[in-house]
Structure 1
Amino acid sequence: MSNVLIINAHQKYPFSEGKLNQTLVDKASKWLGENGHQVRVVTMSDSFDVEQEIANHQWADTIILQSPVNWMGVPWLFKKYMDEVYTAGMAGQLCAGDGRTSAEPIANYGTGGTLTGKNYMLSLTFNAPAQAFEDPAEYLFEGKSVDDLFFPMHMNFRFFGMQALTTFASFDVMKNPQIEQDLARFEAHLAAQFK
């Protein structure tokens, strides 16, 4: 039915081996395969070839970014991946410049993406409880959503011309984990996004 690239952005730490993120990757890979999709997986803990990763992005109809949230963003190994792969992809494979022209040097910034017609989905794991988001009375996020927090990541994919699918999040995964419920929600989420 479609080609799906899953990026496991987890980076191992002594307090976080990455079991949940790997379980979500395995669940997505199995479910997608059973439902007729072709799947490729890249993991940040493994070495990667820049040209192959560009080719993976071109091959994919949808990219799933599976990532823990470390210090309000993605782990640094995935940032390194972006710096290497996405910068190399600026040569026309992922985008043809930033969309501006010498005739229009101000307008159309961010419209040079060559991955139009493709989608991406963020799947995130948080130590934060769900209540920390979207409740203005909560101190840290002041009523902002998960997608507000990950606005820069959305812009990275949009820069390449991609469209967002609905974000999935698992919350409170260290202090109050609800793994079985999260896995059931994740499978239902996949079914809704990949009809």
Structure 2
Amino acid sequence: MKILVCAFHPNIAESRVNKRWLEVVNSDPQITIHEVYSTYSNWSFDLKVEQQLMENHDRIVFQHPFQWYSVPPLMKKWLDDVLDYGWAYGSGGTALVGKQWLCAISTGASAESYQLGGSNGYCIGEFLKPLQQTAILVGMEFLPPFIFHGALQASTKDIDASAEKFHYYIKDSTLSPQIQRIKLLEAMS
């Protein structure tokens, strides 16, 4: 499986979590890292290059900090521009059908704040519904996200541990809910 990590961090040099995640997976030959903010500081994408990158990989990891209950602004623009009608969806738009979409997100707040009754009012999955629906629209399988909560208070030890988990998680071939269902049915028979 070929994995593309599209990293959308507005200031990766100052990041503790997202930068560490990229450092850990950097030497893995199965993984291509694409730092979008540093590649497109002018916010003008080369659509053919971006689309070719996606076509050449099986699993696309959208890695970013959670900002204002959503994605960083360049990621929103990237989704608007790159997931083009006629290529990603609509008439003839089948380039991404069957590929996998995986969110890898760091939040500043605790996990407790992202649940019903928590200070953010909803669980993280509710905030990810627009991304999930985008994946569905373009024919991709939306995999269970990798979430690291509490980045602002996290110790170096916790961040290092999360980076190792991140590396393992994004390569896990059994993340697909369909594969999990089959394994469950096999175990029951």
Query: With structure 1 as the length reference, what TM-score do the two structures score?
Result: 0.75
1:82 aligns with 2:79: yes
Number of aligned residues: 169
CA contact (8 A) 2:21 2:167 kept: no
SS in 2 for 1:30: coil
Partner residue of 2:60?
Answer: 63
Q: Deviations over 1:50-75 (max 9, x none)?
A: 11101112222110000001111111
2: CA distance, partners of 1:192 / 1:84: 29
| Amino acid aligned to 2:74 | L
CA deviation digits over 1:151-190, x for unaligned, max 9? 1111122211000222101111112342123123223423
In percent, how many aligned pairs have the same letter?
21
The letter for the 2-side match of 1:117 is G
| Paired residue type of 2:38 | S
Whether 1:173 aligns to 2:154 is no
Query: How far apart, CA to CA, are the structure 2 residues paired with 1:184 and 1:29?
Result: 12
Matching residue of 1:5: 4
Alignment partner, residue 103 of structure 2: 122
Considering fraction of residues, name the structure with more helix.
2
What letter corresponds to residue 115 of structure 1 in structure 2?
L
More contact order relative to length (CA 8 Å, sep ≥ 6):
2
Partner of 2:162: 182
Taking the aligned partners of 1:181 and 1:115, their CA distance within structure 2 comes to: 32
> What is the alpha-carbon root mean square deviation over aligned residues?
2.5
1:118-149 Cα deviation digits (max 9, x unpaired): 10110001001011123x332322xx332211
Mapped to 2, the partners of 1:193 and 1:23 lie a distance apart of 23
Structure 1 alignment gaps of length 5 or more? 100-111
2 CA distance for matches of 1:181 and 1:27? 10
2:112 alignment partner in structure 1: 131
On the 8 A contact 1:25/1:66 being kept in 2, the answer is no
Give per-residue Cα distances to partners, 1:91-142, cap 9 Å, x unaligned: x222234x9xxxxxxxxxxxx65422110110001001011123x332322x
**In the alignment, which of 88, 109, 124 is matched to residue 94 of structure 1?**
88
In 2: Cα distance, 1:46 partner to 1:39 partner: 14
